[in-house]
Structure 1
């Protein structure tokens, strides 16, 4: 996989998806440890406590199903079910360990309980991050594009794909100039150069009427609101684009 392909994949998944992928792999690892434990490990206190509630194979199946769900929904726009399932299973595990501490079955179970409950709380916190659907609603269904200091597209929401005709995989990594007629591109390049020198954009926060260019070569009027901000990699831009009357993709 090339760096460009990896960049596209990471931007499509986002922070929520990446976190969900990590949780999914962890769930599968836990499932394997429960399904195929060595004989001496099966006799460990933690395993006997779990086996007293349900067979280890049942626990393994629950972790495996949760892990598979996380790995599938990490690529989807709505991932609430996966986050809810992972949080519930982690908290349940923590409660089992905590209860076993109080009833004397596992005197040091509070250590495992603290770890599992903290992990479950962390997953519940990540679940509060905005997902793709919420981001679309927050921008009123507008096209939202993020670009780096060189004007290369880094993020591309579904409405941008609908408006301009480029899919996320096709758009990420390409220059913003694909979205504008050739007669406007020189002005755009000069503007980026000025921002790199001054560190600020004169157009930030303003609604700018422009002409957009679809993939099929057709032009249409748009309203652009752009903001420049400083990231770890330098200046980045976020543009919110809405078609003006007569320019909707529908």
Structure 2
């Protein structure tokens, strides 16, 4: 059961589950803190900036967002919210050390900033796409690097396009599209490499595919772009469109 859940949500989703549950626990500790705990330097510093109930609401909203987006393909908002709140906590605790309000605040500040760095690192992980996470069977899953060179090619892609894995890996994505679309594709990759952002990420895009035998067919492409140590990485999920026209 646990392995099935992990395969479904992936390692990014599992990390969001951890952050989400921790955020809810922090929200509860703030909302229901006894008077003796509210009098400690850490809580007093937080209360001097905003009421503890406001901090609790922020953690509650962040935790809920993480637990919702752990199941979604688009999870950037959850990672951004968690990172921002954790880093804010770290900066507040560090600042309280220099103001003298919390002499030991630098310890908590260092821990929170390290935690924020960990979340930021996870947000750069490319998520491996598995077929049991896809909306339908028979989907081709292709991974390519920033230059548009195929890095990974599943059996469904081989069956759909007619190229074996050994033949496809290391070749450009342009071999899968008619010649009339290749210049536009190359310009799009150049633009993404320049600004580090893909406007097509997460969208379903109607396109035309090209089989090895030269026949064209209508496809629906869902692409996600991830920042990895080697630069931008693209994961594309391709499904044939029944009754579609190869325009």
Task: Structure 2: give runs of 5+ residues left out of the alignment.
Answer: 141-151, 168-175, 177-208, 220-239, 242-247
Counterpart among 118, 123, 128 of residue 127 in structure 1: 123
Equivalences for 1:145-184 in 2 at 5 Å? 155-156=131-132, 158=134, 161=136, 163=138
Q: Which residue of 2 is the match for residue 105 of structure 1? A: 101
CA contact (8 A) 1:16 1:126 kept: yes
Equivalences for 1:170-209 in 2 at 5 Å? none
Q: Report deviation, 1:38.
A: 1.5
Q: Secondary structure at the match of 2:124?
A: coil
* TM-score normalised per structure 2: 0.58
Q: Report deviation, 1:129.
A: 0.8
Q: Which residue of 2 is the match for residue 115 of structure 1? A: 111
Counterpart among 24, 40, 48 of residue 44 in structure 2: 48
* TM-score normalised per structure 1: 0.58
The C-alpha deviation readout for 1:155-184, integer Å capped at 9, x for no partner, is 54638x35369xxxxxxxxxxxxxxxxxxx
Cα 1:209/1:222, change in 2 over 3 Å: farther
Moved over 2 A (4+): 6-9, 155-159, 161-165, 205-212, 220-224, 241-249
CA contact (8 A) 2:30 2:56 kept: yes
Q: In structure 1, how many angstroms separate the alpha carbons of the residues matched to 2:210 and 2:25? A: 48
CA contact (8 A) 1:66 1:86 kept: yes
Q: In structure 1, how many angstroms separate the alpha carbons of the residues matched to 2:120 and 2:34? A: 32
Cα 1:110/1:7, change in 2 over 3 Å: same
The C-alpha deviation readout for 1:39-68, integer Å capped at 9, x for no partner, is 211111100000000000000000000000
The C-alpha deviation readout for 1:66-125, integer Å capped at 9, x for no partner, is 000000001000100100000000000000000000000000000000000000011011
Q: In structure 2, how many angstroms separate the alpha carbons of the residues matched to 1:210 and 1:96? A: 50
Task: Structure 1: give runs of 5+ residues left out of the alignment.
Answer: 136-143, 146-154, 166-204, 213-219, 228-240
Q: In structure 2, how many angstroms separate the alpha carbons of the residues matched to 1:211 and 1:34? A: 54
Cα 1:109/1:76, change in 2 over 3 Å: same
Q: In structure 2, how many angstroms separate the alpha carbons of the residues matched to 1:48 and 1:42? A: 6
Q: Which residue of 2 is the match for residue 14 of structure 1? A: 10
